[in-house]
Amino acid sequence: MIQTERLIIIPLTYEQLLKYIKCDNSLETELNLNKTSRTISLELKEAFEQTILPNVANPAKDYLYSTLWTAISKADNKMIGDLCIVGEPNPDGEIEIGYGTYNEFQNKGFMTEIVGGIIKWATMQAKVSSIIASTEKTNIASSKVLEKNRFQQTGETETLLNWKLKLRNNTTT
């Protein structure tokens, strides 16, 4: 669990992920939260089926690097957005993140705070030396989240901007 000024950020267990997918407020009930009007995009649904659930279910993997971390507003007692780490650190010590804020909570600085919380957590993980992310070129708000958290743009494709935040030099053990 990670705490920031306005948020509590928790990694979801396999059973909690199954409730999350249902979008029937059963997860909110379990966590004693107010109901949330969230939906799951087709892209996130596919990520759940193809990557998140199989990786979280695999006992050989550290689920913290595959699960969805949900952010809860302390003031509203509601889930307001999510962040996912896309697998365990690669040989260079990089982890990749993806994130999203529920519509009613956008443009309030929450995602900047969530990413900042994950950065703080990642700095305490010996195997992590950098965090990478990609944003759609048209998604200015997502780029600003990374800029505010000191990420540097490292490249681009036709549709994406690539970002990196170096936490420390990679040292092999």
Q: Domain spans of the chain? A: 2-166
Residue 170: pLDDT band (50, 70, 90) is low
Structure confidence by residue, pLDDT tens digits, 93-124: 999 999 999 999 999 999 999 999 999 999 99
Residue 172: is its pLDDT beyond 60?
no
The whole-chain average pLDDT of the chain stands at 94
Span of 32-46, 101-115, 118-132, 142-156 with lowest mean pLDDT:
32-46
Residue 62: is its pLDDT beyond 50?
yes
Stretch 32-39: mean pLDDT: 91
Residue with the two structure tokens 């800029």: 147
Which has the closest alpha carbon to 102: 75, 147, 71? Answer: 71
Residues 103, 6: Cα–Cα separation, whole Å: 18
Percent with pLDDT over 70 in the chain: 98
Q: Which CATH class is domain 2-166?
A: alpha beta
Stretch 162-168: mean pLDDT: 96
SS3 of the chain: the string is CEECCCEEEEECCHHHHHHHHHCCCHHHHHCCCCCCCCCCCHHHHHHHHHHHHHHHHCCCCCHHHCCEEEEEECCCCEEEEEEEECCCCCCCCEEEEEEEECHHHCCCCHHHHHHHHHHHHHHCCCCCCEEEEEEECCCHHHHHHHHHCCCEEEEECCCEEEEEEECCCCCCC
Largest CA distance in the chain: 45
Residue 171: is its pLDDT beyond 60?
no
The residue that leads in pLDDT, 52 or 170, is 52
The phi and psi torsions of 130 (rounded to 5 degrees) equal: -150, 155
Residue 173: pLDDT band (50, 70, 90) is very low
